[in-house]
Amino acid sequence: MAKGTEIKRRIKSIKSMLQVTKAMELVSSIKMRKANEAALRSKSYVFESWRSIIRIAKLPDSANLSFFTNPTQGKILALVVTSDKGLCGSYNTDILRKVTSFIEEHGLENIDFMTIGGKGKNFIKKIGGNIVADFPPYQNIRFTMSSPIGLIAWQDFNEGKYSRFISIHTHFESAVRKKPATLQILPIDIENIEANVEEEQIEYKFEPPHQEILPEIVRQIVRALIYQVILESEAAEHASRMIAMKNATESAQELKEDFEFTFNQLRQQSITQELAEISAGVNALY
């Protein structure tokens, strides 16, 4: 029964693995639900902010401002959002493929990076990319956490160091609907927003003039967009990990059942053999 003992050891090991993967699945499902709720709440604010920007951009002397003008050339600042840990399916791989595609299109020498998460940071270092800032994944995301990222991007963009500020992250709609996406944050793409938002005729009155307060409004909206990107990425990460652990649990359960079936076959063969030997011994006495 040496082989049977080995199978019993493997079954015990798989049962321990099942407990871990099931626990990770449950934890990820709870975290995903919380992150999804936060992302949905923030999305309403960001959506309405963009609507306001459309109206403001159409006011006299607004269209020529730097954060509304799409440049034809210049260096790009890219925010790459990944996770620190694995065991989340293709979540990180899909983002890194998107980064690779973006680099192939624009050239590594024309891009500087800000990273959230060790997977993205390690990948960009490996390919020789320039990382100007790195931030760890946040455990409890708050709006104020987007401030340092927004400050760096806003100052460098307005000083002319970068022509564009974009994010490469995972756009989250539901646990089964998520995909890597590239979002242009600065300058604000008015034409793209306007094509996806119904316009309402609202007249604004500004004091002081809108040319003076518009930069502060746009700066806050940039922070809101970064915050939304981080929230959606977090929700997508937990959803990917939940699905990955669910698949691992199902595979381990199938493997355990196969080993149990094999073990029962071996035990049945052993019992049959013992009965045959007893019967042969009894027949030999007569």
Average pLDDT of 255-266? 79
CATH class of the domain defined by 36-244: alpha beta
User: Are both 2-21+247-285 and 36-244 of the same fold?
Assistant: no
pLDDT at 275: 61
pLDDT band at 102 (very low <50, low <70, confident <90, very high): very high
- Between residues 178 and 76, which one has the greater pLDDT? 76
Per-domain boundaries in the chain: 2-21+247-285, 36-244
* % of the chain at pLDDT higher than 90: 15
pLDDT digits (tens, 9 = 90+) for 22-63: 888 888 888 888 888 878 787 777 777 777 776 776 666 655
Q: Minimal CA–CA distance to 117: which of 243, 21, 237?
A: 237
Segment 170-183 shows an average pLDDT of 84
Look at residue 80 and tell me whether its pLDDT is greater than 90: yes
Which CATH fold would you assign to the domain 2-21+247-285? Helix Hairpins (1.10.287)
The predicted structure's pLDDT at residue 171:
87
